[in-house]
Amino acid sequence: MFSQIFKFFVIIHFLHAPLLSSPRTEIFLKENWLFQRGQNNGAEQVGFDDSEWEPVTIPHDWAIKGPFDREIDIQDVRITQNLEQEASEKTGRTGALPHIGQGWYRKTFDLPDLKDDQKVLILFEGAMSEPQVYLNEKKVGEWNYGYNYFYFDITDAILRDEPNLLAVHLTNHPQSSRWYPGAGLYRNVRLIVKDKESIDQWGQFVTTPQITDDWAKVNVKTRFSGEGLSLVTTIFDMENNIVAKHEAEPPFGNEFDQNILIDQPKLWSPETPYLYKAVTKLLKNGVLKDEITTTFGVRTIEYNPETGFSLNGQVRKFKGVCLHHDLGPLGAAINKTALRRQMRIMKEMGCDSIRSAHNMPSIEQLELADEMGIMFLAESFDEWAKPKVPNGYNRYFETDAEKDIINLVHATRNHPSIVMWSSGNEVPDQHGSDGVKRAKWLQEIFHREDPTRPVTVGMDQVEAVMENGFGAIMDVPGLNYRVHLYEEAYERFPQGFLLGSETASTVSSRGIYKFPAEKLKHVTHPDNQCSSYDLEYCNWSNLPDDDFVLQDDKDWVIGEFVWTGFDYLGEPTPYQGIWPARSSYFGICDLAGLPKDRYYLYRSRWNTESPTLHMLPHWNWEGREGETTPVFVYTSYDSAELFVNGKSMGVQKKHGATPQNRYRLMWTDVTYEPGTIKVLAYDENGDPVAEKETHTAGEPYQIILEADRTELIANGEDLSFITVSVVDKNGIPCPTATNRLHFEVSGAGVYRAACNGDATSLEMFHEPTMKLFSGKLVVIVQSTNESGEIKLSVSGNGLKAESIQLVSTSETVI
């Protein structure tokens, strides 16, 4: 129905003093920070010696450079969400990276042009964790929740005639998370300088309450501070044409309320993510006092017991994934290019929605969702009052939950991508009457702050919430797994529909296949890997096909959010107590962002724009000659024929004997012999329409490089992700290669990180060397602030080396 991305009138990345002549100036505090681990006190003092501190750039994750260590955050716990009956030792649960402890950040800045009638805010978009903020020896504020956005008015602490010293203290406690949370100032920090008579921070709320084919009513509520002020809002389309202009009536107290008509509105959706912008000017006696630009979308959402979920009047089901906030080898430090790559990969799979599990999303992620057309389920908490881990959010729930929700809603409510809020995930509070009261209280806060969107909770204790009324009070009942209880929950809940708020939890390791290929629950293997036949799952979860059946056959199931779109650091189920394992196996893509086979299973269902034909496994099985080696095909076609070295293995057609037969083509009795396997797909008329071949490769011979982008912006943070693989002398990919490679970057770029997707690897991401895993890895190259050519060279013993040229160009500053 609506959206907002805050883009202020002047945006400055500065090393020296900024100019403050505009009515509102936003200053990103990115460069020239100093950092030190382990200081307990004194760092807020101006005279403290920081000469030995490490220079860093924000966003920053202090722990991602490791090293990986089994002893980090060992937990002797019983994980009730995993249906464990007794406690056991857990290793790698939070990524085995050194995030636990304290850290200090310091930065100096000047504001010599600050006027007496101006105010200064400092805004943090996330700080892990429990940030305490000091300015010039004075504590100006603190916040507990590391995933939330917050700001303080620091006007009274600012020095005008000398440098200001900003210091931030952070603490990460042991057993405070169930996954790798990151550490440090991992999201952006900004100064906002504006007139004291101005629009409040996050003070504008844009909705589109009425839409027809011919017009849309845009409601703009704007909170402000000051007296005798007027307000004018101008709406522009994506071509920057003015489509409406409106001068507000006198305010109601400290809020203007405008209703503005747009003719022939273009609607926002995943297929057509059209965005408008509203430029709002606050004036006093004709003098401009403040100005903000709000990007929004025109759209409607409806959750109906008869039809389920509708966007712009069209019934549809969520084709969603859950995503943690870390960016794999980059850690928790936010990077918009890396986020764009993640979301592009998901979008190309046919995904149309994301659940920010189990944390509040970054502003950058929501901006990209608006722009790219991805619906969003914005989640708030993983814990309420009852703990999952001793030092988790339960410690602040009673005092902080309301203000945390208010900040979440106010900072993000204008993004059209957000179509639902979540107040919690698998909270132990699902049991008992106190939990029902908490669920109702949290939902009412969301309703009060945003009456336009419904609220859900990811519920895994389905039998309990059916009995105690917890599930009945939710706007949208979200079920995590428990597919065998869907029918009963539908009958007992009054809403008339259910959401698969978390589904599947199928585990796999890219390019690894286990024999025999059979359904296995919570199995482990000696190499600490999982099979990419996509038949292994956890003791609380299920295979993707079980969810597909419900989505296809039950109109009242309104979609799913798969756990997970990408592997993430920490939670290495089913190897949480078996070392080494330090990242998850749940992902549809691995930690490097390389698609696993399961990517194409989902693509075959979700991507309706282009066909899918994918065959597995690879065909390099020295030592398995004569043994049964099943071949699976994930395809959008209904039937296909398999050939082994030219001999037909027969035609398979999708059918409903089992959920797997309904969504996969499977030749289970193929005998391995080296050579070529080919799949030939047929259309509904039985005509051949597509084919794929897989060949047995020889020894690794040459390195191959493929960049996702070759032109970067010279802003010191843009990235190119280069997929590295090896081929034999005939150019055939080597799917089992494990060669050690070395990376060198020269020119106007730097080596940032590498990742091979192996959850058991203890190699550090930032070192310029790594082994291939299942024949591939990804190297990340980062631009500098200088324009010019960038060269990545990759070499390995006994391999023909390769290099690739990139180019970095100057960023256009507006």
Q: How far apart are CA 300 and CA 472, in angstroms?
A: 24
The answer as to whether 314 is a domain residue is yes
* 495 and 628 within one domain: no
Mean pLDDT (the chain, rounded): 95
Tell me how far apart the alpha carbons of residues 406 and 114 are, in angstroms, rounded to a whole number. Answer: 30
Residue 251 belongs to some domain of the structure: yes
**567 and 679 housed in the same domain:** no
Query: Do residues 738 and 772 touch, judged by C-beta distance below 8 A?
Result: yes
pLDDT band at 86 (very low <50, low <70, confident <90, very high): confident
Domain membership of residue 280 (yes or no) is yes
What element of type H or E holds 491?
helix 486-492
Average pLDDT over residues 621-646: 98
According to the model, what pLDDT value does residue 41 have?
58
579 shares its domain with 646: no
Q: Residues near 756 by Cβ (< 8 Å), separated by ≥ 6?
A: 592, 763, 770, 771, 772, 773, 776, 777, 778
- Look at strands 476-480 and 498-504 and give their pairing: parallel
Would you state the structure tokens that stand for residue 47, as one six-digit string? 């005279």
From 695, 720, 742, the end of a domain falls on 695
Least confident of 84-88, 341-345, 715-719: 84-88
Segment 570-603, tens digit of pLDDT: 999 999 999 999 999 999 999 999 999 999 999 9
pLDDT at 161: 87
Are 51 and 28 found together in one domain?
yes
pLDDT band at 12 (very low <50, low <70, confident <90, very high): very low
Q: Which of 647, 666, 695 is the C-terminal boundary of a domain?
A: 695
* Percent of all residues in the chain with a pLDDT value above 90, rounded to a whole number: 92
Determine the average pLDDT of the residues in 82-105.
91
Q: Do 418 and 566 sit in the same domain of this protein?
A: yes
- The tokens for 549 are 């059946």
* Residue 58 belongs to domain with CATH number: 2.60.120.260
What lies within 8 Å, CB to CB, of 335 at 6+ separation is 59, 327, 717, 719
Q: How far apart are CA 561 and CA 499, in angstroms?
A: 9
Distance between CA 247 and CA 242 in Å, rounded?
14
State the average pLDDT over residues 689-698: 98
Residue numbers of the domain that contains 759:
702-809
Task: Tell whether pTM > 0.85.
Answer: yes
491 and 580 assigned to the same domain: yes
Contact 603, 384 (CB under 8 A): no
**pLDDT tens-digit map of 194-212:** 999 999 999 999 999 999 9
Six token digits for residue 27: 């200053």
Does 331 lie in the same domain as 288?
A: no
List the one residue out of 459, 453, 399 whose CA is nearest residue 435.
459
Q: How far from 94 is each of 91, 563, 584, 586, CA to CA, in Å?
A: 8, 17, 10, 15
Residue 209 within any structural domain of the chain: yes
Q: Are residues 305 and 292 in the same domain?
A: no
Tell whether the model's pLDDT for residue 653 goes beyond 80: yes
Q: Looking at residue 9, what is its pLDDT?
A: 32
Select from 195, 223, 246 the last residue of a domain.
195
The string over 305-334, giving b where at least 16 C-beta atoms fall within 10 Å of a residue's C-beta and e elsewhere, is: eebbbebbeeebbbbbbbbbbbbbbbbbbb
Tens-digit pLDDT profile for residues 331-360: 999 999 999 999 999 999 999 999 999 999
Q: Which two tokens stand for residue 419?
A: 């179509």
Three-class SS state of 120: strand
Q: Is residue 367 part of a domain?
A: yes
Q: Which residues on adjacent β-strands are paired with residue 740?
A: 771
348 and 450 together in one domain: yes
Indicate which CATH number applies to the domain containing 404. 3.20.20.80
Distances (CA, A) of 584 to 540, 588, 644, 725, 764: 16, 11, 34, 23, 17
Give how many domains the chain has, as a whole number: 5
Closest CA to 415 of 351, 368, 379, 457: 368
The pLDDT > 70 percentage for the chain reads: 96
Token look-up 């080596």 returns: 751
CATH code at position 286: 2.60.40.10
Residue 17 has pLDDT above 90, yes or no: no
Whether 118 and 251 map to the same domain: the answer is: no
**Res 11: pLDDT:** 37
State the first-to-last Cα distance of the chain, in angstroms, to the nearest integer: 29
374 vs 343: CA distance, rounded Å: 8
786 is catalytic: no
- Domain annotation covers residue 601: no
With 0-12 / 13-18 / 19 or more C-beta atoms within 10 angstroms meaning exposed / middle / buried, residue 92 is: buried
The β-bridge relationship of strands 802-809 and 711-713 is parallel
Residue 812, pLDDT > 80, answer: no
> Is residue 246 one of the residues assigned to a domain?
yes
Q: Which amino acid is at 116?
A: D
Angstrom distance (rounded) from CA 681 to CA 642: 9
- Same domain flag for 222 and 158: no
Which residues are registered as beta bridge partners of 792?
745, 804
Where does the pLDDT of residue 14 fall: very low under 50, low under 70, confident under 90, or very high at 90 and above? Answer: very low
**Sequence-ordered list of residues with C-beta below 8 angstroms from that of 343, at least 6 positions apart, any chain:** 354, 365, 368, 369, 372, 374
- Is residue 320 located within the same domain as residue 411? yes
**Among 426, 449, 717, 763, the one annotated catalytic:** 426
Q: Can 625 be counted among the known catalytic residues?
A: no
What local confidence, expressed as pLDDT, does residue 44 receive? 64
Asked if the model's pLDDT at residue 152 lies above 50, the reply is yes
* Within a domain: 530: no
pLDDT at 39: 65
Sorting pLDDT into bands at 50, 70 and 90, what band is 19? low
Out of 502, 560, 641, 763, the active site residue is 502
Report the SS3 class of residue 395: helix
| Contact by Cβ (8 Å): 99, 333 | no
* Torsion angles phi and psi, residue 712, rounded to 5: -115, 160
Res 416: pLDDT: 98
CA–CA dist 776, 735 (Å, integer): 8
Query: What distance separates the 2 farthest-apart alpha carbons in the chain?
Result: 88
- 481 vs 544: CA distance, rounded Å: 11
